[in-house]
Amino acid sequence: MTQPAFNRAFHRDNGTLFVEGVSAADLAAQYGTPLYVYSRSALTAAWHAYADACAGRRATVHVAVKANSNLAVLNVFAREGAGFDIVSGGELARVLAAGGKAENTVFSGVGKHPDEMRMALEAGVKCFNVESIPELDRLNAVAGELGKKAPVSLRVNPDVDAKTHPYISTGLKSNKFGVAFDEARATYRAAAAMPHLDVVGIDCHIGSQITEVAPYLDAIDKVLELVDQIESDGVHIHHIDVGGGLGIRYDDETPPDIGDFVRTVLDRIEAHGAKIGKTREVYFEPGRSLVGNAGILLTTVEFLKPGAEKNFAIVDAAMNDLARPAMYEAYHAIEPVTERADAAHTYDIVGPVCESGDWLGRERTLAIEAGDVLAIRSAGAYGFVMSSNYNTRPRAAEVLVDGTRAHVARERETVQQLFAGEHLLPD
Ligand code: LLP
């Protein structure tokens, strides 16, 4: 079974797009555009797809905060009892402010600062996912200063091809991530010998927007083989963290159903455990598959600009609001919030930023007029979080819809806020 195209929380009624019980046109009119809109029921449905497949098994789910770190969104997951996966001290602060618990939080990332390590140790995070010997040394020193023992897992690089965009593939030898597979055993021995570290697990994350299960199983088989070797050296591995990366449907991709994916992974790990008489906890770190299709970006058409070679629809959202097309040539479906019966034309949908790379969709056939509101779909993951203030553009507002209620999850930035911390030279 594969994931459905988009989520049922986004549906049409008489040609008008609705987010749960609220019309997208009304949201645009009330809050202005560009506007990120999330559906609470889509968030919880994706969460339950993971959580229900984990129920009764030794498995926990940690929401990858980097995909969408809005406090209201994190709070939806925290209320469901979610764990979290963070990559900075800032993300830890967000998790705590959103009602998440440090003891359910794993700390990933290739370059943790000593201040971030201190903050995470003091808060009591569940595990540090460490990626190199110098990072182990640093963590050992910081934990020693605080008189604590840091729980650690090593992120190993299984050297498998996740068959995704090169910028979001992370499990190959050529990537900066993780401890090289051939060095992992020795690195575990080194970690086990450090007095202020407590080795508790192993992790890997092979990439993002992965639409097949096979690369995961290849990675897991390699990791399990390594676990046997590490344990034969006398280091016990309590948990295996399989990372995140499960893809979603943006266009015509056919990613596996979340529940099927979780069960396949757990079955593989449990079968290995049964063979050698050991059970281990399994961690998941999904981001995109929880939030990606739970969000859209609403934008208004400013001008239609016909050209000799191309027609452009210039909209009020830009690459600073949604960087994925410019950065990865990513596809996002784009559709008018209110359908028109007029003839459709083919447009490149572009923003007002002064860069030719500022596009949101290419060659889209749409019946639109200036002033129409468009919905850019599948924008809940790596959308707002990657937005910037380039061209001194305030970042968009974010709204979370819950049934018939719309809740402002983040106010639109003001220009004053953008340069509030800047100072002219003194006379
Ligand atoms: N765990 C680790 C260690 C990660 O590095 C990531 C994502 C995740 C979990 C969550 O992966 P997900 O389930 O969301 O695929 N900006 C890119 C995606 C970058 C992903 C980085 N790491 C994009 O817009 O496609």
Q: What is the pLDDT of residues 391-405, one digit of tens each?
A: 999 999 999 999 999
pLDDT, position 4: 61
Question: Residue holding tokens 């994350």?
Answer: 205
Residue 245 in marked binding region: yes
- Find the 358 Cα to ligand 1 centroid distance in Å: 23
Q: Is 205 in the pocket of ligand 1 (CB under 6 A)?
A: yes
The domain segmentation of the chain, as residue ranges, is: 6-39+292-418, 108-286
Q: Which atom of ligand 1 is nearest to the CA of 109?
A: 3
C-alpha distances (whole Å) from 203 to each of 41, 243, 348 are 30, 7, 41
User: Cis before residue 34, ω within 30 degrees of 0?
Assistant: yes
CATH class (in words) of the domain with range 6-39+292-418: mainly beta
- Find the 298 Cα to ligand 1 centroid distance in Å: 23
CA 399 remoteness from chain centre = 18
pLDDT, position 8: 78
Segments of 91-132 assigned E as strands: 105-107, 127-130
Least-confidence region, from 1-5, 23-27, 177-181, 304-308: 1-5
CA-to-CA distance for 314 and 303, rounded, in angstroms?
A: 5
Percent pLDDT > 90 in the chain is 91
Q: Is 382 in the pocket of ligand 1 (CB under 6 A)?
A: yes
Residue 328 in marked binding region: yes
Task: Give CA angle at 129 (127, 133), nearest 5°.
Answer: 125
CA-to-CA distance for 184 and 175, rounded, in angstroms?
A: 15
Q: Is 361 in the pocket of ligand 1 (CB under 6 A)?
A: no
pLDDT, position 34: 98
CA-to-CA distance for 21 and 420, rounded, in angstroms?
A: 38
Asked: is 108-286 a CATH 3.20.20.10 domain? The reply is yes
pLDDT, position 376: 98
Q: Is 203 in the pocket of ligand 1 (CB under 6 A)?
A: no
Q: Which atom of ligand 1 is nearest to the CA of 288?
A: 14
The answer to whether the beta carbons of residues 139 and 116 sit under 8 Å apart is no
Q: Is the pLDDT of residue 421 over 70?
A: yes
Q: Is 208 in the pocket of ligand 1 (CB under 6 A)?
A: yes
Residue 421 in marked binding region: no
Q: Is 67 in the pocket of ligand 1 (CB under 6 A)?
A: yes
Q: Which atom of ligand 1 is nearest to the CA of 287?
A: 14
Q: What is the mean pLDDT of residues 203-209?
A: 95
Q: Which atom of ligand 1 is nearest to the CA of 208?
A: 15
Q: Give pLDDT tens digits for 169-194.
A: 666 676 778 899 999 999 999 999 99
Q: Is the pLDDT of residue 6 over 90?
A: no
Q: Between residues 270 and 168, which one has the greater pLDDT?
A: 270
Copy the structure tokens of residue 278: 């050991």
pLDDT, position 84: 98
Report the residue among 285, 291, 378 best suited for mutation to probe ligand 1: largest number of ligand atoms under 8 A from its CB: 285
**Residue 3 pLDDT grade (very low, low, confident, very high; cuts 50, 70, 90):** low
Q: Is the pLDDT of residue 299 over 60?
A: yes
Residue 259 in marked binding region: no
Q: Is 91 in the pocket of ligand 1 (CB under 6 A)?
A: no
Q: Is 54 a catalytic residue?
A: no
- Find the 209 Cα to ligand 1 centroid distance in Å: 8
Q: Give pLDDT tens digits for 75-91.
A: 999 999 999 999 999 99
pLDDT, position 169: 66
DSSP notation for 52-77: HHHTTSSEEEEEEGGG---HHHHHHH
Q: Which atom of ligand 1 is nearest to the CA of 290?
A: 13
CA-to-CA distance for 342 and 109, rounded, in angstroms?
A: 50
The answer to whether the beta carbons of residues 377 and 335 sit under 8 Å apart is yes
pLDDT, position 279: 87
pLDDT, position 127: 98
pLDDT, position 159: 85
Q: Is the pLDDT of residue 136 over 70?
A: yes
Residue 58 in marked binding region: no
User: Residues 6 or more apart from 198 whose CB is under 8 A from it?
Assistant: 149, 150, 151, 152
The answer to whether the beta carbons of residues 361 and 324 sit under 8 Å apart is no
Q: Is 287 in the pocket of ligand 1 (CB under 6 A)?
A: yes
Residue 285 in marked binding region: yes
